[in-house]
A and B are shown apart, each in its own frame.
Chain A
Amino acid sequence: MVTNITNLSRSGLYDWMMQRLSAIVLAAYTLFIAGYILTTPELDYGQWHELFSQVWVRIFSFLALLSLIAHAWVGMWTIATDYLNSRAFGEKSVLIRFPVQLICFIALFSYLVWGIQVIWGL
Chain B
Amino acid sequence: MNSKRPVNLDITTIKLPLPAYTSILHRLSGILLFAGVGLLIYALELSLASEESFADLQIVMSSGLAKFILWVLLSGLIYHFVAGVKHLLMDAGIGEELESGRIGSIATIVVSAVLIVLAGVWVW
Interface residues of A (CB under 8 A from B): 1, 20, 23-24, 27, 30, 38, 45, 48-49, 52, 68, 72, 75-76, 79, 87, 104, 107, 110-111, 114-115, 117-118, 121
Contacts and interface: CB of A to CB of B under 8 A. Distances in A.
Interface stretch (B13-21, B47-55, B93-101, B106-114): B47-55
B117 interface: no
A76 B34 contact: yes
B66 interface: no
B45 A118 contact: yes
Interface of B: 1, 5, 7-8, 27, 30-31, 33-34, 37-38, 41, 44-45, 47-48, 51, 54-55, 77, 81, 84-85, 87-88, 91, 122
Contacts of B88: 20, 23-24
A118 B34 contact: no
A27 B34 contact: no
B85 A30 contact: no
Contact of A118 (B5, B30, B48, B51): B48
B54 A30 contact: no
Nearest to B91: A20
B31 A76 contact: yes
Please classify the interface of chain B as helix (H, G, I), strand (E, B), loop, or mixed, using the class held by over half of its residues: helix
A114 B54 CA distance: 18
Given A48-B47, A87-B7, A114 B41 contact: yes
B65 to A, nearest CB: 21
A44 B8 CA distance: 53
A117 B45 CA distance: 9
Given A20-B88, A52-B48, A1 B41 contact: no
Most buried by A among B7, B48, B55, B122: B48
A23 B51 CA distance: 33
B51 A45 contact: yes
Contacts of A121: 48
A107 B38 contact: yes
A25 to B, nearest CB: 12
A13 B117 CA distance: 37
A75 B54 contact: no
Contact of B85 (A27, A48, A49): A27
